[in-house]
Amino acid sequence: MSAFAFAPNQGSEPGVGWRWAVELAKQHQVVVVTDVTRQHLVEAAGVELPPNLQVVYFRPKWLANVPLNSRTAQLLYTLWQFGLLGFAKRLHAHHHFDLAMHVTYSVFRHPSFLGYLGIPFIFGPVGGGEDAPWRLKRSIKGREKLKEMLRTMINAVASIDPMLWVAYAKATLILVSTQDTKTALPFPFRQRAIVYPNLGMDAPLSNEVRRRETNEPLRVLFVGRLLGWKGAHLAIRAFARAREEGLDVEFTLVGRGPFGATLHLLANQLGVEKQVHWIEDVPHKDMSTLMQQHHCFLFPSLHDSGGTVVLEAQANGLPVVCLDLGGPAALVTSASALVIKTDELTETEVVEALRDALVTLCNDEPRRRAMGMSAVLHIKQNMSWESRVAGALGFLKESAYVR
């Protein structure tokens, strides 16, 4: 298994890589190849590897002195993949693998060449093809706007990248997180791709949904990196509109990032800067406790491939309010979430729709609690890590491309 991002007790990509490996190792012998920067996390005190799981650290010598940070990550990862095939062939000569799988980074634009090991190869699940119309990005300014423009251009070019064609041609099974990513693939491979979210969740801690007491405000939570496309600015605007309408609501925003200063300025302009509970960081182990102190989860992201926090919120009994864009909408059901349809809506209209969703959850407590229970049941029945891995291997057995 190729998992450049790989670490225990983490969210996001490292946690995804870790959980796929752990679940696979419950029934199979698994060797994970990850970057050397993950070693201190994997070998930290208190971390125990499953008996069937072996972790191997790799970094090409010519990349040995390149640090891993937000500026270097994408280029370093791409070059890491180009160096991986020779290393994987040497591992294969020793272990005689039956299957190769690429898990992280889970971005369709970056090729993986493990299909050239000569054994069945699962590419994914990968995402990254999600996007939102520019009419919903009008209030994203400065560098964040430039990043959005660059990302759109890169995704368009990816469909004609010859390295991607070479990589996908050797994939036995292609799994993508969303329909948007399937559409973004080089055209010969779209029909072969199967939409299958790469995220799972542990069983909910409790079947209880937090009751909202009489005269208690509706406590709304947002968790995510403070980037333009994460939609925190839309959440703040919806919160401000709800308060203007006299709604008894509180809002907690958890996250940090380059869009943070803009968000504080926006909240100040709307007169709610002091009414927002700003939290820069919450340890992953404490996230469930925080979620269980709230009544709903507001996450109007514009193009997430997945959204682990959306699963975490549901596992903790929180109804979700999100947009019909990207991964979050694929991780909820009509019974567990209020999904805003964005077709032809302007930013202002989306904000009004988000406000209306908050009004609904605030004024209909029986419905809110029923949605919370549906969220817990959805995680238990459909989104467990065990079911994610079993489903992926099931697709492989059914694939007409198995050699």
Same domain, 242 and 188: no
DSSP 170-229: T-SEEEESSHHHHHHS-GGGTTT-EE-----BPPPS-S------TTPPEEEEEES---GG
Same domain, 189 and 52: yes
**What confidence tens digit (pLDDT) does each residue in 62-109 have?**
998 989 887 888 889 999 999 999 999 999 999 999 999 999 998 999
Q: Residue 351 carries which side chain, given as an amino acid letter?
A: V
Same domain, 388 and 369: no
Same domain, 73 and 178: yes
Same domain, 282 and 308: yes
pLDDT at site 402? 44
Question: In this structure, is residue 209 part of a structural domain?
Answer: no
Same domain, 181 and 227: no
pLDDT at site 386? 82
Task: Select, from the ranges 30-44, 193-207, 280-294, the one with the highest average predicted confidence (pLDDT).
Answer: 30-44
**What confidence tens digit (pLDDT) does each residue in 220-238 have?**
999 999 998 899 999 999 9
Question: In this structure, is residue 260 part of a structural domain?
Answer: yes
Is residue 319 very low, low, confident or very high in pLDDT (cuts 50, 70, 90)? Answer: very high
150: phi then psi, degrees, rounded to nearest 5:
-65, -40
Question: In this structure, is residue 212 part of a structural domain?
Answer: no
Is residue 203 very low, low, confident or very high in pLDDT (cuts 50, 70, 90)? Answer: low
- CATH number, domain containing residue 155: 3.40.50.2000
Question: In this structure, is residue 205 part of a structural domain?
Answer: no
pLDDT at site 205? 59
pLDDT at 385 over 90: no
**What confidence tens digit (pLDDT) does each residue in 274-313 have?**
899 999 998 888 888 999 999 999 999 998 877 788 999 9
pLDDT at 204 over 70: no
- Number of domains, the chain: 2
54: phi then psi, degrees, rounded to nearest 5:
-120, 135
Domain residues for the domain of 374 are: 218-382
Same domain, 185 and 41: yes
Q: Which of 204, 181, 259 is nearest to 376 (CA)?
A: 204
pLDDT at site 86? 93
Name every residue whose Cβ is closer than 8 Å to that of residue 248 and which is 6 or more positions away in sequence.
Answer: 215, 217, 218, 362
Average model confidence (pLDDT) across the chain = 90
pLDDT at 35 over 70: yes
Question: In this structure, is residue 46 part of a structural domain?
Answer: yes
Same domain, 169 and 258: no
Same domain, 239 and 192: no
pLDDT at site 401? 44
Question: In this structure, is residue 210 part of a structural domain?
Answer: no
Same domain, 18 and 130: yes
Same domain, 111 and 258: no
Same domain, 178 and 86: yes
pTM above 0.75, yes or no: yes
Query: What would the mean pLDDT of 175-182 be, rounded to a whole number?
Result: 90
pLDDT at site 398? 74
